[in-house]
Amino acid sequence: MRTNNNTKTLIEQFRVANNLSQKDLAAILKISHSTVASYEKRRRMPKNSILAKLIKIANDKYNYKLQILEVKKDYGYTNNSVLAKFRDSIGFSQQKFAGILKTSQGLLSTWERRKVTPTAAAIIKIYEIAKKYNYQLTVSDLIYDYKNIKKHE
């Protein structure tokens, strides 16, 4: 994934800017030193739960602005659906978000890949969750994102 071996990941940039060793960051995130190293070498992309913890720590404790989607783009992540962007921005895994929506992870995945349109009830629930998290998302945004896609049966 890495196109330029001299380009540091956003995670590494954060770590270096705050004088943290890989071991320090690993301890803060409660993961292994080798996992941090694999993130910095772009061998692995952090899970949403780790990213959410990192973003919170970076923003709150170190006053260092990081965003989940920007970090994920650093690893070549390109899911552009409105729903996927929203879920990623609030740091939920597909499994957790599917549970909140009371649907399967597989169905949520098809919605995020724009294979089928979510039900009207799911769209309303997604909108309510967005409102709770002060995320700028309207029902129209969701519906427009699925324009010309077959309806969920």
pLDDT tens per residue across span 21-66: 999 999 999 999 999 999 999 888 888 788 888 988 888 888 888 7
What is the H or E stretch that residue 121 is in? helix 120-132
Q: Evaluate if residue 139 carries a pLDDT over 70.
A: yes
Q: Evaluate if residue 150 carries a pLDDT over 60.
A: no
Q: What is the pLDDT of residue 55?
A: 87
CATH architecture of 10-73: Orthogonal Bundle (1.10)
φ, ψ for residue 117, nearest 5 deg: -85, 135
Domain with CATH 1.10.260.40 in the chain: 10-73, 82-145
Q: How many helices (H) and strands (E) does the chain have?
A: 10, 0
DSSP structure class, residue 77: -
Q: Which CATH class is domain 82-145?
A: mainly alpha
Structure tokens at 137: 């998302």
Predicted model pTM:
0.54
The Cα 35–Cα 44 span in angstroms is 8
